[in-house]
Structure 1
Amino acid sequence: MKWTIFFLIGMILGIVPDAHDLINRAVDAVSIRDLLQISDLSELSNFWNSLNNIKYDTGRLLIGKTGGSIWSKATIPKNDEWTVEFVFRSSGIDKDLAFGDYNGLSLFLVEDKTSNTANFGGPDKFDGFQFLINTKEKQGLKIFANDGTKKVENSLSDSIGDCQFVYLNSQVPFNMRISYSEAQSIFKVQIDNNLCFKTDKIKIPNKLKLGIAGNVSPASEEMFEILKLKTWDYMTEDAIDDHGLMSDGELKIAYKTVVEDRNQISTPAQIRESLHEKNRKFQEQLAKDSTNEFDRSITFDSSRYNEIIQQNNRLQSRLDSLETILLNLQKDNGQVVGNDKTLENFQNTITTQYAELLESIARLNQKVISEVREQQFTIDELGKKVDLLMNHHKEIKFQNDKPINTYEAASNTIRYILFVIVFIVLLLAIFVYRLRHDIKHSKLL
């Protein structure tokens, strides 16, 4: 028991790795590294193959007009249970609704990939699943299953499931989670922790590879951003817990369990707001505040950073409390925990809370990075506008400061006056001539 207590203390202090980290090491080959920790796409080449024109830019992978894709070299270690989380964002706006036949982002789970890119940057024939984000027929997600013998047409009638949500004009990313358990007969898809699709009729016999592919029409300015792809060889807590139903882009209280006839109804466990959902709402508020501030002036709102700092302090306080509890347990030599069952429950609680704390801290850091990036972008845009105004001002000043040639102006004026005088003299001469002629004529008469 003494060694167990030392292990728990070491886990809190970071001396020994988290229990989840021990499992995660087995799936690094099918998870994309933290994109904030790399500087070039080539750093992913050990485990991933990139095709066409997928690019890396400051913590994200970008897929634009020429399309692109990235494919795992390895398969998911287990085929009987796993979870995949995919975080993405689109820069598209309302006018991109017209490009539903061309713009799309797909996550593939396939037995093997091909070089074909006719299906939104990925293969139109594959053995596995395609999870397509686009605006064709409905804006949101369509799920396709294929055995590799036919081409996918990407229509709702050919999909095995779908859910509608608005991802255009969004300033925040979306989290798509796909999970599978053969023992529990579960295959489900969640969007931001809300259930989108679920069935007990799918069995996956083989290990699958992961791929992300996208395509954008040359006439569109939409850009797809890939922020995270992580894989576990078990069903995570969030994958097991359904917080609500995605239906027509809204959260419902009950969800539909999708089977072959799609008629079976079930009620979820108690709906609660997860850390991810809180983070989502907080990011939406940050984006809204940032937009309003740009209309008024470019300033930093310190209250938002104070809130982030306060949350981080609260998380640190919880870690300190857990450390204190474990130190007291060490002194009492296990007297607080009276039996093995209680100790086991306590160990599970500590492990779960510590994992949640680490995840929350990572999300808070991501919020700060995203906010700084947005503010930097805003300042750059303002700088461009200031430069444009300065250039315009210089041009006007140059025109106003251009010297006037007074000599040339005086010469032109004198010419005009002389011309008028000569013209008047000619008129007088003609008048005198006519007058004399008339006088002579009168004398003759």
Structure 2
Amino acid sequence: MIIKAFFISSLICLWGNLVLGHSTDPISLSFPNLIDLEDIFGLEKSWSFFNNIKVETGRMLIGKLGGSIWSTDVLPNPDDEWTIEFVFRSTGATTDLRFTDSNGLSLFLVEAPNTKDVSNFGGPLSFDGFQFLLNNKGKEGLKIYANDNSKKIENDLEETIGNCEFSFLNSGVPFNVRVSYSRKNNVFKVQIDNNLCFRTEKINIPSGKFHIGFAGYVSPASEEVFEVLKLNVWDHLTEDAIDDHGLMSDGELKVAVQTVVKQETNDEVSPAQIRESLMERSRKLKEDIEGQTQQQQISSSSFDFEKINELIVQNSLIQTQLQSVQLTLKDIQNTKEEPVTYPFDEFKSSISSQYVELLESISSLNQKVIGEVREQQFTIDELGKKVDLLMANHKELRYESSNAQKINTHDTSTSIIRWLLITITIVVLVLVIFVYRLRHDVKHSKLL
């Protein structure tokens, strides 16, 4: 039944996109699958990158002293409709809170990238467009800045056009950030993990060019690393951009997952010592995926039987009402008496009203079913993302294991050569002593 529900939901989404003339696939401005890239140079056809930025095991990493990457192509129809969605993660710990003035990651939408100025968390202080800053200065979470290149952004909360508070430091889990705009619907919106973070109807983007860029900076004394796992861009509003699964209230997500982090008893321990190993992260991620799968199977099975039973009951009621109406009409047609108009009209209107009520109840029930299916689809999408992350960690483990084997092989070969040279040296010394004694004996015998 789960497969059938997903099939129905997929048909609904596909039909809606076909009617609107939209493709569900992201456009070329999106990142390819980063797992397929060996290094950052796999992006050089469509992107320009600067300073300390690299791609490793399916992640784009921005580490100490920062770096930036900018699209060479521009966002199509920036004044009409578009959706930008990216997934990021921070590896920082609680001790990295002392670097709130320096550490940060930004998504830029600007008319012309300024790669020479990196004083704004790896990006420019002055720009024409938008900056979506993720840092912990003043308030942890996301800050949104708009500029027309007439001033320098000082990263104060008073300068933001909007912000939402959430904790990404020391969480260890990826966050999904989605920015969307529609002139037709008159809406500019930002979502965090499908929860509404910021929405306004007062932004009207004029025609022009928008380059997409990521910029970040990390203090040399900090162990924090920013990871960008995915970037997708659409030239229209996606279904998730239209629907909000939850709201952010008072700086907190109404639909959120609480992450329990192991705390060290010694506050003086360096951040590098309290980070979990790859094996530990993989084990915890596997347990999390298995638990979500079991919960999903239980909720899906109960959902199927309850909703289908309700639909069957409603359908049987409709069939019964229709049959009674048909029988009444046949009786009236068969009678030769004069028709009684008033009672029949009243009966007809009563049946019609009941029929309309039944249709409305079925329609509302269908909307609930579609909502449940969408939630199930979102859960499986999140599950797929975690599986991709698990595969990336597995590749990293395999790479480290192969390096360790090479080092062990090299050490073994060196040890064998060392012992072989020692043995040869001993044999040569023995031969030299033997020859010396032999010559001495021969000389002595000649003297006799």
CA distance in 1, matches of 2:24, 2:241: 19
What is the deviation of 1:305?
Answer: 4.3
1:7-46 correspondence to structure 2 within 5 Å: 23-24=22-23, 28-46=27-45
Q: Does 1:214 align with 2:233?
A: no
Distance in 2 (alpha carbons) for counterparts of 1:163 and 1:35: 29
Task: Kindly provide the CA deviation profile for residues 32-74 of structure 1, in whole angstroms up to 9, marking residues without a partner as x.
Answer: 1121232222222222111112110111100011211111111
For the Cα contact (< 8 Å) 2:57–2:393, is it kept in 1? Answer: no
Aligned to 2:179: 178
Q: Which residue of 2 aligns with 1:223?
A: 225
> Would the alpha carbon gap of residues 309 and 126 (structure 1) be closer, same or farther in structure 2, given more than 3 Å must change?
same
Residue by residue, what CA displacement relative to the aligned partner does 1:73-112 show, whole Å, maximum 9, x if unpaired?
1121112111111210111111211112111100001111
Q: Which 5+ residue runs of structure 1 have no aligned equivalent?
A: 1-7, 13-17, 253-272, 316-350, 388-445
Identify the residue that residue 161 of structure 1 maps to in structure 2.
162
In the TM superposition, residue 238 of structure 1 has moved relative to its aligned partner by 1.6
* Structure 2, gaps ≥5 residues long: 1-6, 12-16, 264-274, 301-369, 408-448
Which residue of the partner structure matches residue 105 of structure 1? 105
Q: Structure 2 vs 1, CA of residues 307 and 204 (structure 1 numbering), >3 Å: closer, same or farther?
A: closer
SS in 2 for 1:189: strand
Deviations 1:5-51 (A, max 9, x none): xxx99x98xxxxx959x845885332111212322222222221111
- Shift, 1:198, TM fit: 1.3
Aligned length: 323
Q: SS at the partner of 1:98? A: helix
Secondary structure at 1:61 match in 2: strand
Q: Does 1:367 align with 2:386?
A: yes
Partner of 2:82: 82
Structure 2 SS opposite 1:157 = helix
1:50/1:25 Cα in 2 relative to 1: closer, same or farther (>3 Å)?
A: farther
1:347 equivalent in structure 2: none
Aligned partner of 2:198 in structure 1 is 197
The change in CA–CA distance for 1:184 and 1:222 in structure 2 (over 3 A counts) is same
CA offset at residue 285 of structure 1?
8.6
Aligned counterpart in structure 2 of residue 243 of structure 1, from 242, 245, 251: 245
Equivalents in 2 of 1:208, 1:58: separation in Å? 29
Q: 1:27/1:244 Cα in 2 relative to 1: closer, same or farther (>3 Å)?
A: closer
Change (3 A) 1:373 1:151: same
Change (3 A) 1:51 1:292: closer
Identity of aligned residues (%): 49
Provide the C-alpha distance between the structure 2 equivalents of 1:300 and 1:165, rounded to a whole number of angstroms.
Answer: 22
CA contact (8 A) 1:86 1:175 kept: yes
Amino acid at match of 1:237: E
User: In the alignment, is residue 147 of structure 1 matched against residue 148 of structure 2?
Assistant: yes
Does residue 118 of structure 1 match 2:119? Answer: yes
Q: Which moved more, 1:243-252 or 1:223-232?
A: 243-252
Q: Shift in Å at residue 180 of structure 1?
A: 0.7
State the secondary structure of the residue aligned to 1:29.
coil
Report the TM-score, using the length of structure 1 for normalisation. 0.59
- Give the Å deviation of 1:371: 3.3
- Change in Cα spacing, 1:294 to 1:68, as seen in structure 2 (3 Å) is closer
Distance 1:302-1:102 versus aligned 2 partners, 3 A rule = closer
SS class of match (1:65): strand
| Secondary structure in structure 1 of the residue aligned to 2:65 | coil
Distance 1:182 1:310, change over 3 A: same
Q: 1:304 to 1:92 in 2, by over 3 A?
A: closer
1:218–1:76 distance in 2 versus 1, CA, 3 Å: same
Instruction: Return closer, same or farther for 1:357/1:74 CA change in 2, 3 Å cut-off.
Output: farther
User: Per the alignment, in what secondary structure is the counterpart of residue 54 of structure 1?
Assistant: strand
Assess, with a 3 A threshold, how the Cα gap between structure 1 residues 356 and 73 changes in structure 2: closer, same or farther: farther
In structure 2, what is the equivalent of residue 320 of structure 1?
Answer: none
Residues 19, 311 of structure 1: alpha-carbon distance in 2 compared, 3 angstrom cutoff: farther
CA 61–90 in structure 1, closer or farther in 2 if over 3 Å, else same: same
Shift, 1:218, TM fit? 0.8
C-alpha contact 2:51 2:66 (8 A) present in aligned 1: yes
Q: Distance in 2 between matches of 1:244 and 1:360?
A: 14
Aligned in 2, Cα 1:48/1:214: closer, same or farther, shift over 3 Å?
A: same
CA distance in 2 between counterparts of 1:136 and 1:299 reads: 30
Alpha-carbon deviation of 1:307? 6.1
1:287 is displaced (CA, Å) by: 11
Contact 1:29 1:72 in 2 (8 A): no
RMSD (CA atoms): 4.8
Match of 1:127 in 2: 128
Deviation at 1:298, TM superposition (A): 7.3
Assess, with a 3 A threshold, how the Cα gap between structure 1 residues 286 and 305 changes in structure 2: closer, same or farther.
Answer: farther
CA distance in 2, matches of 1:148, 1:72: 19
Task: Say if 2:289 and 2:383, in contact at 8 Å, map to a contact too.
Answer: no
CA contact (8 A) 1:27 1:77 kept: no
Tell me by how many angstroms 1:244 deviates. 2.9
Change in CA separation of 1:232 and 1:97 when aligned onto 2, cut-off 3 Å: same
Compared with structure 1, are the counterparts of its residues 59 and 355 closer, same or farther at alpha carbon in structure 2 (3 Å cutoff)?
A: farther
Relative distance call for 1:307 and 1:363 in structure 2 (3 A) is: closer
Length-normalised TM-score, structure 2: 0.59
Query: CA contact under 8 A between 2:110 and 2:130: conserved in structure 1?
Result: yes
Structure 1 residues 236, 226: CA separation in 2 closer, same or farther (over 3 Å shift)?
same
Task: State the one-letter code of the partner of 1:62.
Answer: L
**Structure whose alpha-carbon radius of gyration is higher:** 1
Task: Tell me the secondary structure at the aligned position of residue 386 of structure 2.
Answer: helix
SS in 2 for 1:95: helix
Residues of 1 paired with 2:175 and 2:245: CA distance?
15
Please tell me the residue identity of whatever aligns with 2:240: D
Report the secondary structure of 1:214's partner residue: strand
Matches within 5 A, 1:31-430: 31-78=30-77, 79-115=79-115, 116-206=117-207, 207-252=209-254, 304-305=289-290, 308=293, 363-371=382-390, 373=392
Match of 1:329 in 2: none
Q: Is the 8 A contact 2:175 2:192 kept in 1?
A: yes
* Structure 2: distance between partners of 1:191 and 1:167: 11
2:214 is matched by which residue type in structure 1?
Answer: I
* Map of 2:444 onto structure 1: none
Query: In the aligned structure 1, how far is the partner of 2:47 from the partner of 2:165?
Result: 30
